[in-house]
Amino acid sequence: MAQVDTVTRILDAAEELFAEHGFAETSLRTITARADVNLAAVNYHFGSKKALIQAVFARFLTPFYKMVETSLDVHEKNHPDTILSIEDILKFVARAMASVTEGDRSRLAIFMRLLGLAYNQGQGHLRKYLQTEYRSLFRRVMALIAKATPDLQPVERFWRFHFMLGSAAFTLSSMENLRAIVEHDFDTKCTEEEVVGYLLPFLAAGIRAK
Partner DNA sequence: TTTTGAGTTAAACGTATGTTTCAAACAGTT
Partner DNA sequence: AACTGTTTGAAACATACGTTTAACTCAAAA
C-alpha–C-alpha distance, residues 47 and 10, integer Å: 13
Task: With CA atoms as reference, report the closest residue to 171 among 144, 194, 195.
Answer: 195
C-alpha–C-alpha distance, residues 123 and 126, integer Å: 8
Nearest to DNA of 42, 203 (CB atom)? 42
Q: Which stretch binds a copy of itself (CB under 8 A): 4-12, 39-47, 58-66, 183-191?
A: 183-191
- Dihedral sign (CA 14, 16, 17, 19): positive
Q: What is the per-residue binding string for a copy of itself in 38-77, x denoting contact by CB under 8 A?
A: ----------------------------------------
Size of the site for DNA (CB under 7 A): 19
173 belongs to the binding site for a copy of itself (CB under 8 A): yes
66 belongs to the binding site for DNA (CB under 7 A): no
C-alpha–C-alpha distance, residues 156 and 113, integer Å: 25
Which whole-number Å values give the CA distances from 164 to 17, 142, 185, 205, in the listed order?
26, 12, 26, 10
Q: What is the length of the chain?
A: 210
Residue 166 interacting partner from DNA, a copy of itself, none (CB closer than 5 to 8 Å by kind): a copy of itself
Task: With CA atoms as reference, report the closest residue to 152 among 166, 163, 137.
Answer: 163
44 belongs to the binding site for DNA (CB under 7 A): yes
Residue 43 interacting partner from DNA, a copy of itself, none (CB closer than 5 to 8 Å by kind): DNA
Q: Which stretch binds DNA (CB under 7 A): 32-40, 76-84, 91-99, 153-161?
A: 32-40
Task: Give min distance, CB of 10 to a copy of itself, in A.
Answer: 20
Q: Which stretch binds DNA (CB under 7 A): 22-30, 55-63, 134-142, 173-181?
A: 22-30
